[in-house]
Amino acid sequence: MATTSKFGICGFLWVTCSHLVACSSPHNGCEKTGHVCIQHPQCQNNPVCYPLYLIDEIICPPLTTARPMSGIHPNATWKQNGHTVAGSITRLSRPTDFCVDDDETVLAAYESTSSSIAEWKPDARNVRIVASSVMGQVYRGISRPQGVLIEKATDSLMTCDKTRNQVVRWSRRDGIGPVTIIPNIQCQDIKIDEDGAIYVAHSGKVTRYRRGEKQGTVVAGREVNSNPSMSLSPSTRISLDRNHTVYTWGSGVRIVKWTRGDAEIIPIVGGLVEGDYLAIFGSIGGLAVDQRGTFYLTDTSNDRIVRWPKGASKGTVIIGGNGKGAQNNQLNYPTHLWLDKHGNIFVLDQNNRRIQKFSINLTS
């Protein structure tokens, strides 16, 4: 059984074709919880919804997943004027984290005052609260969400509930949630890989939970490498690449690459001061990695985004660096970063209470 791309899923063929319903248009979704949209030529030509409980532990991306980028060209450039794709939902609220769906829908988490997650459609005018402290069918919603991601196989969002110390799932289709996925964990950040494994930064380490696992495996931190220099801070954040390599960073300027338990400190920045030097960062607020191993970093103190090729001794400013401000070519304390499959860059412009999209130039 396969998607329209070259991906497929590993499952059992025990369901009769008459029990499989067609996927809903136009996004090839499944109305029923616990189903994924696939191509099943033995049943019919159109994609159908298949029950997840019959899928093996290793699941490939669902139908709406595009093939990941092979890497952005080294000479690529970006439009210098960004446009706002998400902002405040109340006078006092500001986004604290976000993720972007394949159709460029933005899911933004708001930790202070509102404790909610809002869904912003691409025009940045149609906003909908999809989870909050006063919504929910299991208990009173979520509180202080930190880290947000989309689980495509179930069309759900996941987030860290920092008040209740747990990772929760919330259905985007029918609003069912929150459902506790990982309890009793002081979660700081979460990510998901192409196989559906969840990575959680907590208590100075990163734990991976494969589909169906209850305990998880520590993949970053002192339990993996006992060298004192490998200790992770409580504020550790996570990035993943296509090979499931984990990259961690915290409140300073150090990035650690974790590959199958081996840890490598990447000498990417050379100081703890603000300045215009491209080898010196004030702090790293966000990090994304493309398939060439190139880093895209928010230099929070210097209000800019820097591209740092693999093995380079310094980076190149690709966005911002025009002083603090609220103009379309300016940033003010940028933090989290998102790199989509086309190479467009989304950045959380913290003090301007907005998320900006900077499009890659088509000639790139």
The pTM assigned to this predicted structure is: 0.76
Where does residue 141 rank: exposed (0-12), middle (13-18), buried (19+ CB within 10 A)? Answer: buried
Structure confidence at residue 53 (pLDDT): 60
Question: From CA 335, how far away is CA 288, in angstroms rounded?
Answer: 12
Identify the pLDDT of residue 69.
Answer: 46
How far, CA to CA in Å, does 165 sit from each of 103, 144, 173? 31, 10, 25
Residues 39-68: b if buried by 16+ CB within 10 A, e if exposed: bbeebeeebbbbbbeebeeebbbbbbbeee
Structure tokens at 236: 């550790």
Q: Are 110 and 145 in contact (CB under 8 A)?
A: yes
**Confidence (pLDDT) at 134:** 64
DSSP calls for 303-322 = TEEEEE-TT-SS-EEEEE-S
Residue written as tokens 């200790």?
A: 231
156-192: per-residue pLDDT in tens?
Answer: 999 998 888 999 998 887 777 788 999 999 999 999 9
pLDDT of amino acid 41 = 73
Domain boundaries, the chain: 9-59, 83-358
Q: Which pair of structure tokens corresponds to residue 103?
A: 């159709």
The pLDDT tens digits of the residues spanning 290-334 come to 988 899 999 888 899 999 888 887 788 999 999 999 999 999 999
What confidence score (pLDDT) does residue 4 get?
A: 40
Q: What is the pLDDT of residue 274?
A: 44
Which residue ranges of the chain lie beneath pLDDT 50?
1-7, 56-69, 137-139, 270-275
> Which DSSP helix (H) or strand (E) runs through 246?
strand 246-249
The CATH superfamily label for domain 83-358 reads: TolB, C-terminal domain (2.120.10.30)
- The pLDDT assigned to 76 comes to 92
pLDDT at position 116 is 82
